[in-house]
Amino acid sequence: MRIEKLYSHLNGHEWLLVHQQKIWKEIEEVIGKVDANKYKTKISEEKGMKGKRLFAPIELNKRFTAEFKKTEWGESRTSYWVTDNYNLIRKTLHLSPDEQKKEIESAGRRAIYSYNQTDFVKNRVAVEIQFGKYSFIAYDLFVKHLAFYVGDAIDVGIEVLPMKSMQQEMSSGPGYYEGALYDLARQGRGVPAVPLVLAGVVP
């Protein structure tokens, strides 16, 4: 596979080229090692596409996982505590998890444990390979990457998505680069407040 289109949000790509050039090269190499056409194995049952051979997202994800693990990219989790009071959440947002729990409970509120998990993190760079449902992309961009950035676990987040030309040869439901780019543009230049790279890939 290869990256056909790239969008740099809040100078995410520029930051990588200056500070983590080796990491960016690694990501490009991993993408290049995945032959998507080998995973065009799903036979569609959908009306209008019945019997057509489609890309299999689960198999593609497995291959990406195997390639990233070879270059020692690992899973990462950021934990935090939430409650039902907005002002208290704002107050505890930048504290450590232990301090968040203590502050919430000392205010007489219930502290609820929560976390965000990302599959590929290395040298403070997070990568999400997203061939799943469209809603997962928005969660990655506007919640997950931001949570890791606010928690000082990453400096930039990367979202790898199929271009529309590839997504058309998948089951209905997966998101695609052009749609995610529109969602980012619609929010304005500073939202979300985390440097990102949107990478649109094709076979």
Q: Where in the chain are the domains?
A: 2-73+119-202
Model pLDDT, residue 44: 83
- CATH 3.40.91.20 given to domain 2-73+119-202: yes
Q: Which residues of 135-146 are buried (b: 16+ CB within 10 A; e: fewer)?
A: ebbbebbbebbb
Helical axes 21-33 vs 57-70, angle rounded to 10°: 140
Q: Residue 152 — pLDDT band, cuts 50, 70, 90?
A: confident
Cis peptide before 192 (omega within 30 of 0): yes
pTM of the predicted structure, to 2 decimals: 0.88
Q: Could you give the maximum distance between any two Cα atoms of the chain, in Å?
A: 60
Model pLDDT, residue 4: 98
Compute the average pLDDT of residues 87-93.
92
Structure tokens at 149: 């950035």
Model pLDDT, residue 133: 79
Model pLDDT, residue 46: 77
